[in-house]
């Protein structure tokens, strides 16, 4: 399974960036910055949600049995141009709760894109990521938390099949912001709210940005 950097550099990743740029009016470079900072934070929050057991069953069912079957990826521009992101807002509410504002502010400070634009982009990205996970789950025959944890762990740079450990890669080290050996929502928040370093800073350096 490819990691998130491969996803961001894939045709799908480029299509996401292009669609976000067209929809919001920010330039492609800014859109790339926002997407590259947002996706790991969302995936990290999902992983923390799964490992903590807080809403894990709902996440598993949504990805493996619900409407997030990957069909959204077949008409990405249609979804984004359609403008209905209520589902994305609900997903963000479940994942981040009252920490959503902190994530929006952190991404804004890191990318230079206004918080008002970030608040438009995150509800676009959440259903796309859920659809991507649904498609991966279907193609890999995943039906439980261990399997979903494996997919998330692989995307985030880990090597565990059960998602209980995310390995020792640079990306993983950046995700585990509080060094407690596991991912949780606080890690996702810290990763994007640090002005320097952290996950967003790591991704920025990998994409040649400072």
Neighbours of 44 (CB within 10 A): 32
Token readout for 84 is 């209905």
pLDDT at residue 201 in the model? 40
Q: Answer for the pair 188, 195: CB distance below 8 angstroms, yes or no.
A: no
pLDDT in tens, 173-201: 444 445 554 444 455 555 554 443 444 44
Residue 170: exposure state from Cβ atoms within 10 A (0-12, 13-18, ≥19): exposed
Token readout for 51 is 């490992």
Q: Closest Cα partner for 203 from 27, 34, 12?
A: 34
pLDDT in tens, 112-139: 999 999 999 999 999 999 999 999 888 8
| Rounded distance between C-alpha atoms, residue 176 and residue 40, angstroms | 12
CA distances for 126 relative to 93, 111, 146, 207, angstroms? 10, 19, 21, 22
pLDDT in tens, 18-49: 999 999 999 999 999 999 989 888 988 888 87
Residue count (the chain):
210
């Amino acid at each position: 399974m490819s990691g998130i950097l491969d996803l961001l550099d894939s045709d799908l990743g480029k299509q996401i960036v292009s669609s976000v740029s067209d929809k919001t009016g920010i330039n492609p470079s800014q859109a790339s910055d926002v997407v590259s900072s947002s996706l790991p934070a969302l995936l990290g929050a999902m992983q923390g949600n799964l490992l903590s057991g807080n809403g894990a069953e709902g996440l598993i069912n949504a990805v493996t049995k619900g409407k997030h079957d990957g069909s959204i990826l077949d008409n990405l521009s249609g979804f984004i141009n359609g403008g209905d992101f209520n589902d994305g807002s609900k997903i963000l509410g479940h994942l981040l709760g009252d920490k959503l504002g902190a994530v929006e502010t952190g991404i804004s400070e890191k990318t230079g894109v206004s918080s008002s634009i970030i608040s438009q982009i995150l509800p676009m990205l959440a259903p796309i990521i859920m659809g991507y996970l649904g498609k991966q789950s279907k193609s890999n025959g995943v039906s439980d938390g261990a399997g979903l944890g494996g997919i998330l762990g692989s995307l985030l740079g880990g090597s565990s099949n059960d998602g209980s450990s995310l390995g020792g890669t640079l990306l993983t080290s950046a995700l585990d912001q509080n060094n407690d050996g596991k991912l949780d929502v606080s890690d996702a928040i810290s990763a994007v709210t640090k002005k320097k370093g952290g996950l967003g800073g790591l991704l920025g350096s990998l994409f040649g940005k400072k």
